[in-house]
Amino acid sequence: MAEAEGLADWMSKLNETFTTVPLCYIAIPGSHDAMAYSLDMDSPLLEPDSLITMDLICCGCCRSIVKNWSITQDKTISEQLDAGMRYFDLRVAGKPGSSDFFFYHGLYTTITVKEAMEEVDTWLGKHSKEVVILAFSHFKEMSTEQHTKLMTFLKDHFKAKLCPDDGMPSLKDCWDKAYQVILSYDDRNRKQDRVLWPGIKYWWANNSDPNEAILFLDNKKQSGRPKGFFVAGLNLTFYGCSIFSNLTASLKEKTVTAYPLLLDWVKKQRPGSDTQSINIIAGDFFDVNSFAQDIIQLNDAKTN
């Protein structure tokens, strides 16, 4: 079913078996730090803490290094959707002196939340049977009033496309009611809003070694899958010592080198309701290989 090309409408082409099961029981490709393709070199550092003071003292000397290790995607959000991504890890920050909201990963993005969500909404209008999971989390520099403003914007923007948190829907449930957006908002300001889903569990190895990341994920699987949506993160994490010993390298270089091992792990997984199953698998720089295709094909494998 899923070829390397033509993944823009993969949900509509799924085996009928998977259109009637809860969405948390199908394999879904996801984008870790989905907006970290448009980082702004002119913005102040937001992280890591160890470099913020140094960057201020050195008049921005650390920003190019941080950018090399903070860019996680090469594609715009529309291009990611075209390539099959359906889960998006979205980290938002307020920006001093601006009324807009931005994404961030080390640095602020150039693209605003409003611009990105307009892009998503336009894309969904052309792909009526595709459902996306927008996971907002890791908020920075945001007051209660700003949270209220952001939540109001998101609800007003997607309107009838929003699937309420009234139990886990299937694709068919979403199609029948024209729902296309699962909106997760991982903050206490969410309260009990019906159209805002709670935070989604993300299994993060917090390690730069792909072997250790795989071991971590396998150990998590032994404990059983969480209830509802959950993410197995294949993203590698590098900190100060590793970065400063590889100043001419980048996160992309390290990730691409690790992908053969990571994709071998992906191909052994299965979606479903059993305790060892997976749901969302998220990663960085997915476009350099068959990441999305391999995850989507897990749904076919389960029917064999």
Q: pLDDT for 197-227, tens place per residue?
A: 999 999 999 999 999 999 999 999 999 999 9
Can you say whether the dihedral through the CA atoms of 266, 270, 272, 276 is positive or negative?
negative
Share of the chain above pLDDT 90, in %: 82
Q: What is the pLDDT of residue 66?
A: 84
Please indicate whether residue 57 or residue 248 has the higher confidence score (pLDDT): 248
The token duo for 34 is: 């989905």
Q: How far apart are CA 234 and CA 30, in angstroms?
A: 10
How many angstroms separate the CA atoms of 101 and 207, rounded?
30
* 181 occurs within a structural domain: yes
Q: Is residue 117 part of a domain?
A: yes
Q: Residue 146 maps to which CATH number?
A: 3.20.20.190
pLDDT tens digits, one per residue of 83-113: 999 999 999 999 999 999 999 999 999 999 9
Locate the DSSP E strands across the chain.
28-31, 87-94, 101-105, 107-112, 132-140, 181-185, 201-203, 230-233, 280-283
DSSP state at residue 74: S
Which amino acid, residue 94?
G
Domain with 79 in it: 10-298
Distance, in Å, from the CA atom of 207 to the CA atom of 211, rounded to the nearest integer, reads 9
Is residue 3 assigned to a domain? no
What is the arithmetic mean of pLDDT over 18-27? 97
What's the pLDDT score for residue 46? Answer: 77
Cβ–Cβ under 8 Å, residues 254 and 91:
no
Confidence of residue 303 (pLDDT cuts 50, 70, 90): very low
Q: What is the pLDDT of residues 257-271, one digit of tens each?
A: 999 999 999 999 999
Is the predicted pLDDT of residue 304 greater than 90, yes or no? no
* Average pLDDT rounded to a whole number, residues 116-132: 98
pLDDT at 2: 46
Q: Is the pTM of this model over 0.85?
A: yes
* Mean pLDDT value across the chain: 92
Instruction: Let me know if residue 303 belongs to a domain.
Output: no
- 4 is a domain residue: no
User: Catalytic site residues?
Assistant: 32, 105
pLDDT at 61: 67
Distances (CA, A) of 133 to 2, 86, 99: 20, 6, 25
The Cα-based distances of 194 to 138, 151, 232, 278, 292 in angstroms read 21, 12, 26, 26, 31
259 belongs to a structural domain: yes
pLDDT digits (tens, 9 = 90+) for 46-72: 776 666 665 565 656 677 888 889 999
The total of structural domains in the chain comes to 1
Higher local confidence (pLDDT), 65 or 236:
236
